[in-house]
Structure formats: C-alpha cells, structure tokens
Amino acid sequence: VIDNYVIVDCRYPYEYEGGHIEGAQNIYTKSDILDRFMKSDEFTSKAVDSNKKNVIIFHCEFSSERGPKMCRYLRESDRKENADQYPRLTYPEIYILEGGYKAFYEHESSQCTPQTYKPMLHADHSQDLKHFRAKTKSMNGSRCNRRRMLRC
C-alpha cells in the first residue's frame, strides 16, 4: 500500500557522487529538506491527498549521525506545520536505513550507482569535508535507536 517513496542520501556530494543507492536524492542541508518536503507542492500534495503511504527513507554513511539528524528535523518541521491538527502528519512514514550506505553497499552493491563506496574521510577529499562540515555545522540533535529501519 505504498504510493511513493524517496530515499534521502544525507552524505556530502563527494560521497554521493562516489556511489549511491539508485534513485536516491542527495539532500544534506536543513534548508534543502524544507524546500523538498515542506515547501514543494510535488511531494507534499501526494502525501496529503493519498490514502496510500508515502515513505521517506533517510541515510548517511553509517546512519548514525547525519541521516538521523535530518530525519528528526523533518519530523519536527512536520509537527510544527501540523500543530493545529495534532496528531496529523504530512509524512507519518519516515525511516532511517540501518547501517547506512556502507552496510547497504556491502550487501546490495548491484543496486548502487556507480557501484563504489567513497567514505566521508577519504584522503582525496579532506578539503571537501572541511567545506561541507562548515556548511552544515548548525545541524544538531541526538541519535535514534538502531534497528533495520528506524521510525523517527
């Protein structure tokens, strides 16, 4: 009963370009999350009007920091947007991929494009890492419990 799903890759662009899950969207800033899911009519109207589930799956390299933070941020934004209609949510089905891209790649590399894995701490991208960390420095939050796919 799933109408639509989106895989949100919260890794930095050089990691994403070094290999990602087919069809995943590279969204790694809070403002981009808001633009894509709270301000865009494309996905929001589907989420509101459909009786079927619209699923969003977040992940980062290990799904232990960036992915869970972005998942929580969307959940908090969704709660604020729907505060007058509690407990209604525009996106009730959001999850975190257990183990992140690294674990997915180890088991399902044929579903990745290109079929490679570039870690965040790759030696060739130390300057990129500094740049993107500075850009996303304002992100904060606590960790979610780990399971196969975790609900935020």
Structural domain count of the chain: 1
Assigned domain for 57 exists:
yes
- What CATH number did the domain enclosing 38 receive? 3.40.250.10
Q: Is 60 designated active site?
A: yes
* Active-site annotation holder among 60, 71, 144, 152: 60
Question: Is the model's pLDDT at 2 over the cut of 90?
Answer: no
Assigned domain for 94 exists:
yes
pLDDT over 70, % of the chain:
81
Cα separation, 74 vs 79, whole angstroms: 9
Assigned domain for 97 exists:
yes
pLDDT, tens only, 106-144: 999 999 999 999 977 667 767 877 778 777 775 433 344
Assigned domain for 102 exists:
yes
pLDDT value of residue 51: 73
Higher pLDDT: 23 or 43? It is: 23
Assigned domain for 140 exists:
no
Which residue type does 133 have?
A: R
Assigned domain for 145 exists:
no
Which residue type does 69 have?
A: K
pLDDT value of residue 144: 42
Query: Mean pLDDT over all residues of the chain?
Result: 85
pLDDT, tens only, 48-84: 656 778 899 999 999 999 999 999 999 999 999 999 9
Residue 25 belongs to domain spanning: 4-124
Assigned domain for 93 exists:
yes
Assigned domain for 148 exists:
no
Task: Note the helical H segments in 20-146.
Answer: 30-33, 41-49, 66-81, 100-108, 126-135
